[in-house]
């Protein structure tokens, strides 16, 4: 029996995790998602499922970065040169993939390597692509990201924020598009991530197993049905899958048009002050997430409810730690602000 990917829309519960993944797939500029939770909570199932959900995309054939021919400002050097030379780039349809980054990966393996000897000898750049090249337009999945070398996490977060990977060696530099959705998972019992790095993850969610008996039963039933015949199971979710895929693509197109008014910007600023959140990155991420939520809802205007949902996903990991409530969002304070936004 061939086992297909578990349908995203068949995952029971875990609403915040699903929403955070959807928002990042709509808008990779959000800066990824950190999923905290114990083992066996369908984290990797969800990540694989969302990649599978989306229709195939056009990519330049024989390009190591799978450049998007429609995005002329986001091409690799080679594709850009070929366009410049009036060449027509042939394309192929490719599915979004999940690229796994092993915890043992070195920085070279992640960013790729520049052959300096070749550059000196022949006067041209020779670049050996790394994992960030593979990750372009895909999902980069790092299980147990808290065990990864801090420096490598730093590099990943930089690339995720910029959408570009730049490698420099002895005055020679090479850049290529690296627009990916960074998904890191961690089990908080096995050590935390440094706060400076934590702050640079766009969104964070905590997943737990279902606590209600009937929900747990539903999880079991679906799992058994899927294992009995994954094709029949997938067939049952076909329409829902298609609909969600379409909503994501629609949201991507709508996103650049979404507007936010000053009153809501003020609300976000006050929210961060009230919650004692460090720096300005939090405010910006809340707004970006709210813009993406509005686009996902098919609106061109942000509503207060978008800000509220965005805050729940973007703020908890950015709050200064207090001794008795580690990174727990003071949600009562948030509710109060939305009830009385003045």
Q: Where are the beta strands (DSSP E) in the chain?
A: 33-37, 57-60, 91-94, 98-100, 113-114, 127-128, 139-142, 164-169, 172-177, 181-186, 203-207
Could you tell me which stretch among 40-48, 72-80, 148-156, 293-301 binds Zn ion (CB under 5 A)?
72-80
Token couple for 200: 């640079």
**Cβ count near 2 (within 10 Å):** 6
Q: Residue 159 interacts with Zn ion (CB under 5 A)?
A: no
CA distance 32 to 313: 11
59 binds Zn ion (CB under 5 A): no
- Choose between 81 and 235: whose C-beta lies nearer to Zn ion: 81
Residues from 73 through 102 that contact Zn ion (CB under 5 A): 76, 79
For residue 114, the minimal CB distance to Zn ion (Å) is 17
Would you mind telling me the total number of residues written for the chain in this entry? Answer: 342
Beta-sheet pairing, 57-60 with 91-94: antiparallel
- According to the binding rule CB under 5 A, does residue 67 interact with Zn ion? yes
> Interface with Zn ion by CB under 5 A: which range of 63-71, 218-226, 278-286, 289-297?
63-71
- Tell which one of 20, 33, 47, 63 touches Zn ion (CB under 5 A): 63
We find the least distance from the C-beta atom of residue 69 to Zn ion, in angstroms, to be 9
CA 82 – CA 179 distance, rounded (Å): 21
Between residues 64 and 147, which has the closer beta carbon with respect to Zn ion? 64
In three-state secondary structure terms, 311 is helix
> What's the DSSP call for residue 9?
G
Which residues face 124 on adjacent strands? Answer: none
Q: How would you write 228-261 as a 3-class SS string?
A: HCHHHHHHHCHHHHHHHHHHHHHHHHHHHHCECC
> Which of 48, 82, 281, 299 is flagged as catalytic?
281
Binding mask 171-210 for Zn ion (x = CB under 5 A): ----------------------------------------
Cα 159 to Cα 133: distance, rounded to the nearest angstrom: 11
Kindly indicate which of the ranges 39-47, 57-65, 224-232, 279-287 contains the residues binding Zn ion, using the contact rule CB under 5 A: 57-65
CB 57 within 8 A of CB 37: no
| Residue placing its CB nearer to Zn ion in the complex, 35 or 76 | 76
Q: Which is nearer to Zn ion, 38 or 87 (CB)?
A: 87
Q: Which is nearer to Zn ion, 68 or 283 (CB)?
A: 68
Q: Is 281 a catalytic residue?
A: yes
Residue 238 CB, nearest approach to Zn ion (Å): 33
Cβ closest to Zn ion, residue 76 vs residue 148: 76
Closest distance of CB 18 from Zn ion, Å: 32
Integer Cα distance of 48 and 7 in angstroms: 9
Q: Tell me the closest approach of the beta carbon of residue 115 to Zn ion, in angstroms.
A: 19
**Closest distance to Zn ion from the beta carbon of 176 (Å):** 8
Size of the site for Zn ion (CB under 5 A): 5
Query: What gap in Å lies between CA 97 and CA 89, rounded to an integer?
Result: 22
Provide CB contacts within 8 A for 17, sequence distance 6+.
Answer: 33, 35, 43, 46, 205, 207
Q: Which residues are catalytic?
A: 281
Residues near Zn ion (CB under 5 A) are 63, 65, 67, 76, 79
């Amino acid at each position: 029996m061939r086992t297909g990917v578990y349908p995203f829309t068949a995952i029971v519960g875990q609403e915040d995790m699903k929403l955070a993944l959807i928002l990042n797939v709509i808008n990779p500029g959000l800066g990824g998602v950190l999923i905290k939770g114990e083992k066996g909570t369908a984290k990797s199932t969800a990540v694989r499922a969302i990649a599978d959900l989306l229709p195939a995309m056009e990519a330049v054939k024989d390009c190591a970065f799978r450049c998007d021919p429609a995005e002329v400002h986001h091409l690799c050097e080679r594709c850009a040169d070929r366009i410049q030379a009036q060449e027509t780039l042939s394309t192929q349809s490719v599915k979004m993939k999940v690229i796994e980054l092993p915890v043992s990966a070195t920085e070279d393996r992640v960013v790729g390597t520049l052959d300096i000897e070749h550059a000196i000898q022949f006067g041209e750049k020779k670049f050996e692509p790394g994992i960030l090249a593979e990750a372009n337009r895909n999902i980069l999945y790092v299980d147990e990201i808290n065990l990864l070398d801090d420096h490598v996490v730093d590099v990943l977060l930089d690339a995720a924020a910029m959408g570009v990977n730049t490698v420099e060696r002895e005055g020679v530099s090479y850049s290529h598009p690296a627009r990916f959705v960074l998904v890191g998972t961690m089990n908080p019992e096995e050590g935390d991530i440094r706060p400076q790095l934590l702050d640079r993850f766009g969104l964070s969610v905590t997943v737990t197993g279902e606590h209600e008996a009937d929900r747990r039963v539903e999880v079991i039933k679906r799992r058994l049905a899927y294992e009995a015949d994954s094709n029949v199971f997938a067939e049952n979710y076909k329409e829902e899958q298609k609909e969600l895929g379409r909503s994501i693509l629609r949201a991507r197109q709508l996103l650049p048009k979404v507007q936010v008014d000053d009153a809501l910007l003020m609300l976000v600023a006050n929210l961060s002050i009230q919650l004692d959140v460090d720096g300005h990155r939090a405010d910006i991420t809340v707004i970006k997430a709210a813009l993406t939520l509005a686009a996902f809802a098919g609106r061109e205007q942000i509503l207060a409810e978008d800000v509220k949902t965005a805050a729940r996903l973007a703020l908890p990991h950015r709050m200064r730690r207090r001794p008795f409530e580690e990174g727990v969002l003071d949600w009562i304070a948030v509710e109060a602000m939305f009830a009385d936004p003045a």
